[in-house]
Amino acid sequence: MKTYAEINEKIKQGKAVVVTAEEIIELVKDQGYEKTAAKVDVVTTATFGPMCSSGAFLNFGHSDPPIRMGKVWLNEVMAYAGVAAVDAYIGATEPSETQGLKYGGAHVIEDLVAGKRVHLKANSYGTDCYPCREIDTWIGLEDINQAYLFNPRNAYQNYPVAVNSSEHTIYTYMGTLLPHLGNATYSNAGELSPLLNDPYYRTIGIGTKIFLGGGVGYVAWQGTQHHPSQNRADNGVPLSTAGTLALIGDLKQMKQEFLRAAIFERYGVSMYVGVGVPIPILDEEMLHYTAVSNHELKTTIVDYSVPKRVKPNYGQVSYAELRSGSIEINGKKIPTAPLSSLAKARQIAEILKEWITKGEFTLTEPVESLPLQSKPQSLEIREKERE
């Protein structure tokens, strides 16, 4: 058994043994679980993929005369201003009012992080204490007081493979899906993915310090649509979506290469977010969870051509099969393509490993665990209010 305090002390002394979630698999094969658990202190995990439920809170400061912003636009993308006088939240998926799906909130956030200035427009009904009725100016990240990424739902624990059995091409948040099971897309880093390495949330919880967008962030809460009650394999790994994380971090620390806007053809705007999570090897059980390989990790194949809440599926497939470049469904060989970047996930895991090894990043013990029994509600369409 190890404690967070003991591991952090080793980190501060430069004596901690840190490996990535890929390296730990080979280490266990070579030295076994008992010796590896005693030797290794931290395993770094990471992912870099589209995370639509992302956005940023911005505080613009007060103009002279001051304004109580009622509506706000940044590069013609509307931000939600119903927070306070000069606060706004810009969502990654909000489209431009002039460019449509070619530019959106994610692009505004990326532009700010890249050091570009953006066009700020705001209007107001005017009050005695906030008499100004209109603002039209240009701002950069350095001009904003507080700018922090707050993402309500990131780092899905697992996500289904998407296919299309219909006769027509369909355009989805899982990319373009060809007819007659012409391709299969997936979005997960497999054996590197954070929540797949901690399936029961023993170390990842509220307050966990992480790598977020190139800077330091934290797990703020369970993510929206957190659904840990999914069916699980014998190794404890859920076979579909399951857990999610709400993440927060200082936008001014972040880097463009780990926070990128994306356009999904005929669907909309999204944002690629880099997330890295350190997992302390507190005991041999945690080592078992982190040492799972792509051959042992499975997800479900779902038919996205059925526009229903519950879609038909074609069973499970391992991430090793997905990474091979093709899978088989009903005797048909289907090419696979990842939406997430394995190369970026590896880069993030290595950066986090370096931060910890150099003593620049210590671990935080969660102040509260993520729930294990939560199940999302569905939205039912009703003709009248329930009595």
Strand partners, 170: 177
- Contact between 207 and 366 under an 8 Å Cβ cutoff? The reply is yes
Question: Rounded to whole angstroms, how far apart are CA atoms 320 and 235?
Answer: 16
Q: Rounded to 5 degrees, what angle do the CA atoms 172, 176, 181 make?
A: 105
Question: Rounded to whole angstroms, how far apart are CA atoms 197 and 235?
Answer: 11
Residue with tokens 């393509």: 337
Q: Considering 1, 129, 310, 379, which one is annotated as catalytic?
A: 129
| CA–CA distances in Å: residue 134 to residues 117, 285, 325, 332 | 19, 59, 54, 60
Per the omega criterion (within 30 degrees of 0), is the bond before 65 cis? Answer: yes
- Active-site residue 129, yes or no? yes
| CA–CA distances in Å: residue 202 to residues 81, 94, 285, 366, 370 | 37, 35, 10, 9, 9
**Phi, psi torsion values for 262, nearest 5 degrees:** -145, 150
- Contact between 58 and 147 under an 8 Å Cβ cutoff? The reply is yes
DSSP secondary structure of 290-302: HT--TTT-EEEEE
Residue with tokens 């009904």: 125
- Region of 75 please: left (phi>0), alpha (psi -120 to 50) or beta: left
- Contact between 320 and 154 under an 8 Å Cβ cutoff? The reply is no
Please report which helix (H) or strand (E) contains residue 194, including its range.
Answer: none
| Of residues 173, 200, 203, the one with CA closest to residue 340 | 173
Q: Can you read off the two tokens belonging to residue 341?
A: 């970047």
Give the catalytic positions in this structure: 129
